[in-house]
């Protein structure tokens, strides 16, 4: 993960700009460069992943224009070879160096054709202004705001912009900004035509496309590791990767000292794959001590995002401090595509599809945000195979009747797709889903709730909630998170659309807690 900033204005001083930008230096600790070009300033904090030599340092420049990009451009080598055949020369092995000559040829149409996870800012000398864009799912972060004179500024994280602009806003995924307006170039949840493939064909395609998505993301010049919970999604990513790499992979799992569900299953998967496996053990004290830091790095007050971030952050912290791993493969985005425990209650196929659309559209505010911040703050890069654009496009197009849980087993299509491969033990492949924050240890969420209960009397809770009009807290735990959030992001609550919760309009989902453990169908999922 790298960090970028771009500004074309005069009211923010160079010092203030640099101070704001340096709040995310941990995203790119290897090198820093600020470039003043034309009337613009572009900044780059580098985490070297592809093209490790100094020549890969950004901003890249060309004919008076310049570019900074936090991203991975998959399949960049064939594009690079084509550009060389057309007369281009390159100074580095960086995947992002192809972007300026590609932009010169294709203009704004370039973004639509990229197979990539990216956020980028271009100073376009011909336009005399900034162009910015973000990948269609929002895996790489980007925010924006306007200075006192109305000039726009872009940066990787909200914390870069706090104090520089009045309102910090997330850059919409799948959009580019040019000539003063935002334009959608790709909508990943819009289905032009429903896929009519039968069950067997669907499962075959799911298998092939996920393997392809994993294979793309194994291309790294820096050491690679894998987050492993022992659940279906991360276990599949690990198993596919081990088979493709044909060598032991490095896996990492985390859990509470007393009741971690994940550690048992992750250990089973690691042994099956002959992985070099590390367990990170945490305590109540570790969790409570890290809480303010986690809220600050996330830039959210959402309950489920914070809960799920506690274990992930502490695991990534240990990886950063104790290993040379730079790239982490994760299992995010599967739930949004194939369903959560609560989507078992979807009243119709149409409702299931609408919920999947909502969840994928909002990924950048919840699960994807969590993964990015917990990993990047520890100077690591996340790669998300389930977010592969071809894979997401295909799964979104599958008839929702096939994706719904009519099989007495959630994510049936994904499980069946790999049933004949035997790359995982059957009890893992067919393991019921457990909520991530619970699987780290049921006691962790209970500890957080108890801590909040100790801080607020009923009277203090009522008074505290009354302070907030937007996304009003509704439990003492949610009030605690909101109070911490406001210390770091005062007045910026509208950066987050709302609390992540099951669809309360559905029978069985009208709950006051986002955890799947409160649902009637959770059953033995957390055992």
Across the strands, what pairs with 181?
178
Written as six digits, the tokens of 174 are 């799948």
Single out the residue of 262, 266, 314, 338 nearest to residue 526, CA to CA.
262
Q: Is the preceding peptide bond at 59 cis, omega within 30 degrees of 0?
A: yes
Residues assigned a catalytic role: 2
Cβ neighbours of residue 459 closer than 8 Å, sequence gap 6 or more:
none
CA distance 444 to 515: 12
Written as six digits, the tokens of 503 are 């669809």
Sign for the pseudo-dihedral over CA of 112, 132, 141, 221: positive
Written as six digits, the tokens of 80 are 């690079």
Torsion angle defined by CA atoms of residues 373, 376, 378 and 382, in that order, rounded to the nearest 10 degrees: 110
Burial of 501 (0-12, 13-18, 19+ CB in 10 A): middle
CA distance 290 to 450: 16
What are the distances in angstroms from CA 131 to CA 13, 18, 103, 447? 21, 20, 11, 46
Helix axes 199-217, 389-397, angle to 10 degrees: 160
Provide the strand spans (E) within 228-335: 250-256, 276-282, 327-329
């Amino acid at each position: 993960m790298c960090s970028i900033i771009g500004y074309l204005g005069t009211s923010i001083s160079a010092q203030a700009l640099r101070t704001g930008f340096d709040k995310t230096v941990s995203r790119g600790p290897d090198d820093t460069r600020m470039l003043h070009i034309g009337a613009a300033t572009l900044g780059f904090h580098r985490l070297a992943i592809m093209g490790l030599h100094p020549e890969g340092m950004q901003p890249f420049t060309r004919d008076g224009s310049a570019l900074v990009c936090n991203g991975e451009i998959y399949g960049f080598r064939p594009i690079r070879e084509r550009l060389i055949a057309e007369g281009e020369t390159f100074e580095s092995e960086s995947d992002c160096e192809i972007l300026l000559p590609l932009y010169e040829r294709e203009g704004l149409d370039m973004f639509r054709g990229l197979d990539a996870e990216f956020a980028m800012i271009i100073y376009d000398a011909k336009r005399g202004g900034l162009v910015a864009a973000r990948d269609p799912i929002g895996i790489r972060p980007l925010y924006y705001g306007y200075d006192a004179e109305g000039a726009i500024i872009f940066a990787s994280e909200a914390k870069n912009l706090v104090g520089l602009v009045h309102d910090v806003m997330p850059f919409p995924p799948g959009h580019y900004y040019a000539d003063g307006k935002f334009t959608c170039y790709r909508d990943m949840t819009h289905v032009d035509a429903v896929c009519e493939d039968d069950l067997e064909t669907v499962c075959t395609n799911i298998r092939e496309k996920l393997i392809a998505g994993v294979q793309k993301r194994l291309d790294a010049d820096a050491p690679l590791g894998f987050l492993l919970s022992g659940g279906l999604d991360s276990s599949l990513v690990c198993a596919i990767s081990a088979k493709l790499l044909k060598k032991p992979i490095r896996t990492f799992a985390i859990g509470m000292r007393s009741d971690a569900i994940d550690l048992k299953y992750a250990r089973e998967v690691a042994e099956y794959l002959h992985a070099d496996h590390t367990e990170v053990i945490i305590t109540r004290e570790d969790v409570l001590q890290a809480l303010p830091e986690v809220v600050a790095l996330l830039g959210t007050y959402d309950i489920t995002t914070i809960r799920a971030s506690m274990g992930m952050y502490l695991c990534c912290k240990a990886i950063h401090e104790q290993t040379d791993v730079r790239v982490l493969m994760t299992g995010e985005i599967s739930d949004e595509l194939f369903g959560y425990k609560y989507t078992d209650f979807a009243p119709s196929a149409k409702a299931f599809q609408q919920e999947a659309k909502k969840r994928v559209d909002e990924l950048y505010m919840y699960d994807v945000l969590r993964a990015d911040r917990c990993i990047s703050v520890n100077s690591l890069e996340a790669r998300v195979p389930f977010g592969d654009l071809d894979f997401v496009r295909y799964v979104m197009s599958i008839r929702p009747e096939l994706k719904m849980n009519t099989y007495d087993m959630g994510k049936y299509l994904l499980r069946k797709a790999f049933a004949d491969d035997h790359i995982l033990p059957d009890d893992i492949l067919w393991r019921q889903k457990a909520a991530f924050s619970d699987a780290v240890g049921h006691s962790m969420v209970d500890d957080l709730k108890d801590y909040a209960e100790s801080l607020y009397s009923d009277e203090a809770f009522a008074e505290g909630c009354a302070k907030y009009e937007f996304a009003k807290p509704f439990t003492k735990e949610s009030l605690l998170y909101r109070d911490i959030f406001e210390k770091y992001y005062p007045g910026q609550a509208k950066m987050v659309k709302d609390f992540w919760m099951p669809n309360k309009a559905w029978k069985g989902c009208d709950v006051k807690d986002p955890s799947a453990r409160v649902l009637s169908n959770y059953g033995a999922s957390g055992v």
